Structure 1
Amino acid sequence: MKVTLQNIGKKYEGREEFTLRNIDLEIEDKDFCVILGPSGCGKTTLLRMIAGLNSITEGDLLFNDKRMNKVPSKDRDIAMVFQSYALYPHMTVYDNMAFSLTMRKERKSVIDKAVREAAELLQITNYLHSKPSDISGGQRQRVALGRAMVRRPKVFLMDEPLSNLDAKLREHMRVELVRLHKQLGTTSIYVTHDQTEAMTMATKIVLMNAGKIQQAGKPEEFYNQPANLFVARFIGSPTMNIFEGEIRGGSFQSTDGFIKASPSEADRKAVEAYEGKKVSLGIRSERFLTEPSEENVEVEIDVMEMLGKEKILYTQLPSGQEIIISVPGHLDFKENTKSKFGIDQGSLHFFDTETGIRIN
């Protein structure tokens, strides 16, 4: 099912300002769309509007080009999986999964077939006669997914469904959800504040902040071509290094004078138009070179994190600004020592400091 949001806005009674406004978004059939953003950005409110749990103040919500603004939630052919599993503790796994079909008064044979097919797909067949309290958190999450699956909805809506799981189980369930999505081929809309979930699971990411969409597109676009400074800082771990400065003679020079960088041929014309203007330069941690280059940066290594395949170096310029640098784990670096690093000129990100918008 194709889901389209046209100029969607939400204003709660008694509030002067809109919580959400000017939301334009198109989610294609079979997309796995992740709505990402910090707490309070409006992502859950938007999901609840799509679900019909929150009213729409302005704009139009379309399912396959059919206006859904006034259609009750139960008639939207959706299924929702919440952060809390919301399972009935007195019911077995089988009865929890069958509940929505039982309420529809479906035939027992239809219910049994749907439940067992979902259980087999989710690998919880052995737990159908257990109570929720007798199974693990990951298994309870699968039951919640199974309960949604048996309805065979046109759209899956998921509100931070993995946030209650431990780190190892979250990693496992991310993979399982992607596999499940590929098998079912159902349009899925997934809300999270976790950028790792978004980058690893989504076919499309929608990053929000302060009730507005900052960027929408494929995961790789967010990392390689952030639309503005907010996106640049939000996406990536470690976060992108940002330096303020200006363009002089077609090249960037930081305000403190310690960072100098020349734009690539592709960026040169756009950057030269900002001659003498305030510009911010973004450099990913892995884009510092351990080999000498034309524009070396000398830093003092303050703290070092050993992560096995890589080391994260927290360093400082003489001006005191921190730079985070990622290097392969086998290279030898020591804390409280000075080192020189080059800059990969082909991977620089330039932003208008005043507006925060990417220069390209």
Structure 2
Amino acid sequence: MKVILKNIGKKYEGRDKFTIRNIDIEIEDREFCAILGPSGCGKSTLLRMIAGLTSITEGQLYFGDKLMNRVLPKDRDIAMVFQSYALYPHLTVYDNMAFSLKMKKESKEVIHKRVTEAAKILQIEDYLYSRPSDISGGQRQRVALGRAMVRKPSVFLMDEPLSNLDAKLREHMRVELVRLHKNLETTSIYVTHDQTEAMTMADKIILLDKGKIQQFGKPKEFYDKPENLFVAEFIGSPTMNIIKGKMESGRFVSDLKDIIVTPKDEDQKALKDYDGKNVYLGIRSERFLAKKSEENSFEARVEVIEMLGKEKLLHIRSKNGEELVVSQPGHFLYEIDENHNFTFDLDALHFFDEKTTARIN
């Protein structure tokens, strides 16, 4: 089911400002879309409006070609999984998963078929007659997912369903949820504050901040071509290095004067109106070259080394105090307090307007 949001906004009674506004996107049928952003950005409010649990102040919500603004949640053909499992403790796993179907008065044969199918996909067949208190947190989360699955919804909504799990189990469940989405063949909308979940699971991402869309598109676009400074700093671990400086005769000169970069011709064309103006230069940690060249190179001292196995994160400081993070292969040899020369990869430079923070190149 295609989900279309046209200029959606929400303003709560008694508040002067909109919590969320100007949400104008289309989520294609069978897509996995993540709504991502920091706490308080409006992501759960947006999901609740799609679910019908929160009213829409302005704009239109469509499922396919049907206007849903005033359609009750029970009539929207959705299933929702919350952060809390919300399982009935006195019922078995089987009965928890079958509960909504029993309320709809489905036949016992249909109920049994759907519950056992879901249990097989989620690998909880052995726990169907256990109670929630007898199974682990990860298994309870699967039960909550199974309870939603058996309804065979047109739209599957998830509100931070993995946040209560430990790191290892979250990693495992990310893979399971992607497999689940493929098996369900339904439109899935997933709220999270965790960029790793969004980047690894979603076909498309909506990144919100202060109730407004900062960028909407494929995960790769967020990493390779962030639309503004907020996106650049929010996406990626470690976060993108951001250097403040000025364009001077086609070259970027940092405020601390010890980093001077001549961008490639294509970027210089985009920056031609910025000569003499302040801009931000961004570069990912893995896009430095550990070699000395006559141009676009600077010297820095290694202050901290984070050994992560396949890579090392070098926290470096230039002569005049610019702090940067550089990623290098784990087998490369570096020592704390060593001085090294680093060169910028000119194909990986991002430039942002100082005032609007919008992407320039």
Superposed displacement of residue 276, structure 1: 1.1
The runs of at least 4 consecutive aligned structure 1 residues that moved more than 4 Å come to none
Q: Distance in 2 between matches of 1:213 and 1:2?
A: 19
Corresponding residue number in structure 2 for 1:130? 130
Q: Distance in 2 between matches of 1:321 and 1:39?
A: 30
Corresponding residue number in structure 1 for 2:309? 308
Corresponding residue number in structure 1 for 2:51? 51
* Contact in 1 for aligned 2:278/2:354 (Cα 8 Å): yes
Q: Distance in 1 between matches of 2:92 and 2:27?
A: 35
1:260-279 correspondence to structure 2 within 5 Å: 260-279=260-279
1:257-336 correspondence to structure 2 within 5 Å: 257-293=257-293, 294-336=295-337
Output the amino acid matched with 1:324. Answer: V
* Contact in 1 for aligned 2:35/2:192 (Cα 8 Å): yes
Corresponding residue number in structure 2 for 1:181? 181
Q: Distance in 2 between matches of 1:235 and 1:264?
A: 24
Corresponding residue number in structure 2 for 1:172? 172
Q: Distance in 1 between matches of 2:202 and 2:106?
A: 34
SS in 1 for 2:292: coil
1:58-73 correspondence to structure 2 within 5 Å: 58-73=58-73
1:76-225 correspondence to structure 2 within 5 Å: 76-225=76-225
Output the amino acid matched with 1:349. Answer: H
How many residue pairs match? The answer is: 360
Q: Distance in 2 between matches of 1:266 and 1:178?
A: 38
Q: Distance in 2 between matches of 1:102 and 1:319?
A: 70
CA offset digits 1:34-59 (Å, max 9, x no partner): 00000000000000000000000000
Output the amino acid matched with 2:214. Answer: Q
Percent of paired sites with the same residue = 68
SS in 1 for 2:341: strand
Superposed displacement of residue 171, structure 1: 0.6
Output the amino acid matched with 2:40. Answer: G
Output the amino acid matched with 1:244. Answer: K
Superposed displacement of residue 278, structure 1: 1.1
CA offset digits 1:27-79 (Å, max 9, x no partner): 00011000000000000000000000000000000110211000000000000
CA offset digits 1:305-358 (Å, max 9, x no partner): 100000011111233231011110001111122211111011100000110000
SS in 1 for 2:91: coil
Corresponding residue number in structure 1 for 2:19? 19
TM-score, with normalisation over the residues of structure 1? 0.99
SS in 2 for 1:197: helix
Superposed displacement of residue 206, structure 1: 0.6
Unaligned runs of 5+ in 2: none
Q: Distance in 2 between matches of 1:65 and 1:248?
A: 53
* Contact in 1 for aligned 2:256/2:322 (Cα 8 Å): no
Corresponding residue number in structure 2 for 1:349? 350
Output the amino acid matched with 1:142. Answer: R
Q: Distance in 2 between matches of 1:168 and 1:132?
A: 21
Corresponding residue number in structure 1 for 2:249? 249
CA offset digits 1:244-278 (Å, max 9, x no partner): 11111112111111111122233221112211111
Output the amino acid matched with 1:299. Answer: A
Superposed displacement of residue 170, structure 1: 0.6
Superposed displacement of residue 174, structure 1: 0.5
SS in 2 for 1:273: helix
Unaligned runs of 5+ in 1: none
